[in-house]
Structure 1
């Protein structure tokens, strides 16, 4: 559903409203830009983030030269109607430096979502000798069995091994659980929504 541009307080910000762009899946902040009314309406009409470039003094669609577009998933307005939050799906890196974000974070704090993307890619673009491809050929039973094996190893590591070994086994367990979710046609989001539902009903 489109948001009426007249509902924003353009006068308060001299016609340019700051826009925070966030990765729809990982929630990582990707960049900050500005929109005027025309850029805001074009963003909604075309489904790709368009800013008003202060340096170029014109509308600028992110990715118009690089192809690294930001496809809009949802738009949110803050309580004062003078700031916009866009949740988007990025294509390639967002920053002109080649980084995924214009903000220099030390690491990808949401790598689990990136790992899910990697698993999805292995399904869509199989690599003959990849671990996922070999396991898929063995079938659902083997994939599910592996989750059980890693679960037991995680428990053993928690009770009798070092912290490093425990982290390693827990990582293996999480990976194989994500693999099993994909094999069943599900995602981390499905689990998160269910956990949220449980929390609200408790």
Structure 2
């Protein structure tokens, strides 16, 4: 089992965001702006969904990695710390998903 975490990925994205666009794909995405980052995240999400439907495990693993990477870039471009997302997940998991959804619709 790998010791690599989302915190590690966020740190790598942060470091690469400080590089030049000529040497860093991450930096080039950030310089392209939030709309471009959103488009890439959406594309990768669709590809992950299609891989889920196809049943090809290796393809889903690769697409899921792309989604997580592009999500980290999206968080970076909007200046949202991963810790904020994790805190929201922690808050939501304090109850069942059905209870959480029911509370949102009220």
Q: 2:73 aligns with which of 179, 187, 200?
A: 179
Structure 1 position 166 matched with structure 2 position 60: yes
| CA distance, structure 2, for counterparts of residue 184 and residue 142 of structure 1 | 12
Q: Offset of 1:189 from its aligned partner?
A: 1.1
Segments of 5+ residues of structure 2 without an aligned counterpart are 101-106
Q: Offset of 1:161 from its aligned partner?
A: 4.5
| CA distance, structure 2, for counterparts of residue 195 and residue 112 of structure 1 | 13
The one of the two structures with greater contact order (alpha-carbon pairs below 8 A, sep at least 6) is 2
Hey, what does 2:50 align to over in structure 1? 156
More strand by share: 1
Q: Calculate the aligned-residue CA RMSD, in Å.
A: 1.9
| Per-residue Cα deviation, 1:145-201 (whole angstroms, up to 9, x for no partner) | 111110100010011141001100111011101110011111221111011122336
Matches within 5 A, 1:70-85: none
Hey, what does 1:94 align to over in structure 2? none
Segments of 5+ residues of structure 1 without an aligned counterpart are 1-105
Which runs of at least 4 in structure 1 moved beyond 4 Å after TM superposition? none
Q: 2:5 aligns with which of 98, 104, 111?
A: 111
Q: 1:147 aligns with which of 19, 41, 61?
A: 41
Question: Which stretch shifts more, 126-135 or 175-184?
Answer: 126-135
Report how many residues are paired.
96
Q: TM-score, normalised by structure 2?
A: 0.79
